[in-house]
Chains A and B, each alone.
Chain A
Amino acid sequence: EAQVTQNPRYLITVTGKKLTVTCSQNMNHEYMSWYRQDPGLGLRQIYYSMNVEVTDKGDVPEGYKVSRKEKRNFPLILESPSPNQTSLYFCASRGAGYGYTFGSGTRLTVV
């Protein structure tokens, strides 16, 4: 089944403890992206990648890092999480068909 897989689905962590949210797609898509969703603010793009080793900032990149060493994986790294990064995170990928496929989401709580 074609899908975008995020892990973990839920995570509670403490301020300052580095964490990684993984994202993997099995559709050979070149484009991948991370979004966060917050009440009243909607979905906002954090980072995106047009292809392997090509990444760029979205609208809210502060406090986040990404890497794209291989086409299928696009991890989101929080080097020093803070409570304002408590949010619902989505990874997405897009192929030649123009429609985006989103993962199921990661609900992160930073205390």
Chain B
Amino acid sequence: DAKTTQPTSMDCAEGRAANLPCNHSTISGNEYVYWYRQIHSQGPQYIIHGLKNNETNEMASLIITEDRKSSTLILPHATLRDTAVYYCIVRAHNQGGKLIFGQGTELSVKP
């Protein structure tokens, strides 16, 4: 699995967009970028994933650079309930099952 690098922590004002960066400079051509979040000791929650095109769902948007060496998760209108640790993970679909979690980014949404 490619190694990912994320900032340890970030703050965001409630109602504003939260932009969480992730570097994955050694990503392989068949590896997808996944984002999960974990709200205070709850089970990690899947947010979104993508290969090379930008993706959007009801929770967030994922922007992947053209060279695929970095990506940004965007929460368009952050709420207090979005306070969590966000994990960026890269893996191939056919490589078995393991997710390798790094330390993630602790996002604090403040009123």
A residues lining the B interface (CB < 8 Å): 4, 31, 33, 42-43, 45, 48, 50, 58-59, 88, 90, 92, 94, 98-105, 107
Closest 4 interchain pairs by CB? A102-B43, A99-B46, A43-B101, A31-B97
A-B contact pairs, 23 of them (CB 8 A): A4-B43, A31-B97, A33-B98, A42-B101, A42-B103, A42-B104, A43-B99, A43-B101, A45-B99, A48-B96, A50-B96, A58-B98, A90-B43, A90-B44, A92-B43, A92-B44, A99-B34, A99-B49, A100-B44, A102-B45, A104-B43, A105-B42, A105-B43
Contact partners of B93 in chain A: CB under 8 A: 98
Category for how many chain B residues contact A: 10 to 19
When chains A and B are docked, how far (Å) is the Cα of A25 from the Cα of B57? Answer: 24
Q: Do B98 and A103 have beta carbons less than 8 Å apart?
A: no
- Cα distance, A92 to B89, chains bound together (Å): 16
| Beyond A92-B44, A98-B49, A105-B42, 20 extra complex contacts between A and B, CB < 8 Å | A42-B104, A43-B44, A43-B99, A43-B101, A45-B99, A48-B96, A48-B97, A50-B97, A58-B98, A59-B98, A88-B41, A90-B43, A92-B99, A99-B34, A99-B46, A99-B49, A100-B99, A103-B43, A104-B42, A107-B41
